[in-house]
Structure 1
Amino acid sequence: MDTSRTKRIDIISDTHGHLTDELLGQLEGADLIVHAGDITSESDWALLCALGPQIKAVLGNNDFYYDYGPEVERLNLFDYEGLSFAVSHYREDLPVGMVDVGICGHTHRARVDELGRCTVVNPGSPSMPRGRRGPTMARMLVRDGKVLSTEIVDL
């Protein structure tokens, strides 16, 4: 299988001003980073943007006092590698029936669901997890308009 066209999307949420060395190490080599809100740190946002890959993000319920620029809003709709994406901090704000991939956060609990033709990913939280699983993020591999795999990565 030719993996040269495969793209790696690393998905994070609810970092709440705490980017750990382990998380930053995991993000190295990503083609796209998606942050589903509650960044709560302009310096963390600048650091994520400086990592190199393309980055997409939304505002979480704790982000309204911070300035991440005009491209970071409540809902982010975009196309990437032949797939349509929607990112929102809240699951209920995702237009699940209209996109291939929906990404949300807020609950601090990692979860991947297939809802019809849509893969819905909540990466949990790498810094303030809830439940027994511990700190997490998600990783998705895509190629030619298809989601090849989606996994929760324990940190």
Structure 2
Amino acid sequence: MQIQEGHAKRIDIVSDTHGHLSAELLEQIAGADLIVHAGDLTSEMDYEHLCCIAPVRAVLGNNDYYRDYGPDVARLCEFDYEGLRFAVAHYQEDLPVTGVDVAVCGHTHRSKIERSCGRLLINPGSATLPRGTRTPSIARLYVGDGAVMSAEIIPLK
């Protein structure tokens, strides 16, 4: 899909970094308009690093409960961006079923993008510790004017 620069915002979606932001990951997310992290950061310094790259919407994962990312990072994050309603949770079952255009989860370390319950459901996989035969990955969205223009999984080396 052809995307016109300036009309679309780029959202990079990351999950399950587990205290390691690889050089490849940092290279890929440079220039993002928004970073969404679906939990298991496990490093306050990594969270601060991501916040220096772009605004961040993040949630707590099952390995984050002893970390202090501040009051903006909870189990569920719901927000509006470019005319779309987003919900982010580490576990898919914690996501709202209705009232959301884009739902983001992590935890499984397995990437997927699918339509479910009238919404786009995204799990970026793990940027650090993929499961099975998968490679590390993130997801990337281009959005604007209340629509998702493109959604893809980006494999990392």
**TM-score normalised by structure 2 residue count:** 0.95
Instruction: Give me the whole-angstrom Cα distance separating, in 2, the residues matched to 1:17 and 1:118.
Output: 30
Tell me the matched-pair count.
Answer: 154
Aligned twin of 2:63: 62
Query: What are the superposed Cα offsets for residues 22-70 of structure 1, whole Å, 9 maximum, x if unpaired?
Result: 000000010000000000011111111111x211000000000000000
Unaligned runs of 5+ in 2: none
The CA distance in 1 between the partners of 2:8 and 2:27, in whole Å, is 20
Question: 2 CA distance for matches of 1:149 and 1:80?
Answer: 15
Paired AA for residue 89 in structure 1:
H
TM-score by length of 1: 0.96
Pairing 1:78–2:79 present: yes
Map 1:96-135 → 2, pairs under 5 A: 96-135=97-136
Query: Is there any run of 5+ residues in structure 1 with no aligned partner, and where?
Result: none
Equivalent position of 1:40 in the other structure: 42
In the alignment, is residue 19 of structure 1 matched against residue 45 of structure 2? Answer: no
Specify the SS of the correspondent of 2:51: helix
Which aligned segments of 4 or more residues in structure 1 are displaced greater than 2 angstroms?
Answer: none
Report the identity percentage.
Answer: 59
The amino acid of 1:127's aligned partner reads T
Which residue of 1 is the match for residue 10 of structure 2? 8
* 1:111 Cα deviation after fit: 0.5
